[in-house]
Amino acid sequence: MADKKSIEYFTFSQYREALEHFQMHYDIQDVIITPTEVQPKGKPKSERVCRFCGRKNDPGAFKSVSHLIPEMLGNKYLFADFECDKCNQQLSKYENDLAYFLGIFRTLFRIKGKRGIPTFDSKSNTVRAKDEDFYGGRAFNIEETSDQYKSFKFDKETGSCTITYKKHGYIPINLYKILFKIALSVLPQEDAGQHQRAYQFILSEQKYDWVAGMCKIVYFDLPFDFRMTLPVCYLFKKREVQAKLPTHFFMFHFQHMVFQFPLHYNIEDIRSGLYQTGEVDLPFCPPILYRDPGTATCHSEIRDLSSYEKMEEVQQMSFGMDPEYLTQLGAMNPETGEITGIAFKPDEIVRMVIYEGDEKPEFPKFNGRKESGS
């Protein structure tokens, strides 16, 4: 947990008015930063009560370790002592949809889950990406695995490279449920009891017609410079109890992606008649940044995740470099380390190996010297 009073934050200039408007109605109730070290143990199993189904007085129902934020997102030490094994098993099913939505980025950013850094294979196996050792340095390796050679597009004039591939299909409502589950998990105990209908909704496999229009989120795609290396959760609570607005808003920042949505189904909001007037005009909280972004911008869109049908999406990754640098490139024989004068041919690229700035690979010796790079 973080001291919200000590936080100085910014947002992108395109959203400053939206942030001011949001702050008129909501305060930060809590900020949950994924820890990097072991945390104190939770309640004894004999005293645990499941927040989602109400199971209690059953130590045998809490044998598993439940992560408050999915382990697949890099959370190793933040656990939930209020989630029974049965609910954990049911809710964990939705994590596959989250993984498929994220696509290649857990591999790119080297997010270690239960089984280490995942290898990514695109739909139809046109692109594969993995973390590997390459000449003594850890690197992100991405290659075209089909014989069509249509995934990599390199513009020699601008120095940009775009890699296009299709993600595996995900079910939008399941993506919404796993995000909602994280939001419900960060609620303080005094507010948790107001969301019984939400617990029933995320646990149920029944298809509900009334979810249409209720499962919308605002999704932000930030420049990589503003990514969070570990997940951060923000919980907001409305200032005026009588305001015709949802009591809570939730924002989840994972790497360069931000998901933001209201916590619908609060029993007090339902009793107040909030949902009897049709469409509710809601404010939204733009991404919270910890340094001034200057002129940087980000993309945002409203996504309706109420569908129970599988959705397949095309994803792109783009890289850029100084075009002048491309004129200085040479070819190296990976077996001998020999550097030749073969011209750089962008159309023939089928594999890229990308190192982080602190990696120092050691290339093979050639003519008595060792080539090193970064």
Q: Give me the pLDDT at residue 279, please.
A: 65
Residue 368, pLDDT score: 45
Q: Which residue has the higher pLDDT, 289 or 352?
A: 289
pTM: 0.91
| Pairwise CA distance, residues 331 & 344, whole Å | 7
CA dihedral 9, 12, 16, 18 (to 10 degrees): -100
Residue range 48-67, pLDDT digits in tens: 999 999 999 888 899 999 99
pLDDT at 5 over 70: no
Task: Supply the pLDDT for residue 346.
Answer: 77
More confident residue, 345 or 268: 268
What is the identity of the amino acid at 240?
E
SS3 content of the chain, % helix, strand, coil (to 5): 25, 30, 45
The whole-number pLDDT of residue 172 equals: 97
Cβ neighbourhood burial of 44 (10 Å; 0-12, 13-18, 19+): exposed
pLDDT for res 352: 86
Among candidate residues 64, 73, 86, the one with its CA nearest the CA of residue 32:
73
pLDDT at 194 over 90: yes
Confidence class for position 308, pLDDT limits 50, 70, 90: very high
Flag whether pLDDT at 373 surpasses 60: no
Q: Find the Cα–Cα–Cα–Cα dihedral 360, 136, 326, 343, rounded to 10°.
A: 150
Would you say residue 111 has pLDDT above 70? yes
Beta carbons within 10 angstroms of residue 96's beta carbon: 16
Highest mean pLDDT range out of 26-30, 61-65, 140-144? 26-30
CB contact at 8 A, 207 and 193: no
Which percentage of the chain shows pLDDT scores above 70?
94
Domain map (residue ranges) of the chain: 4-98+170-315, 120-166+329-372
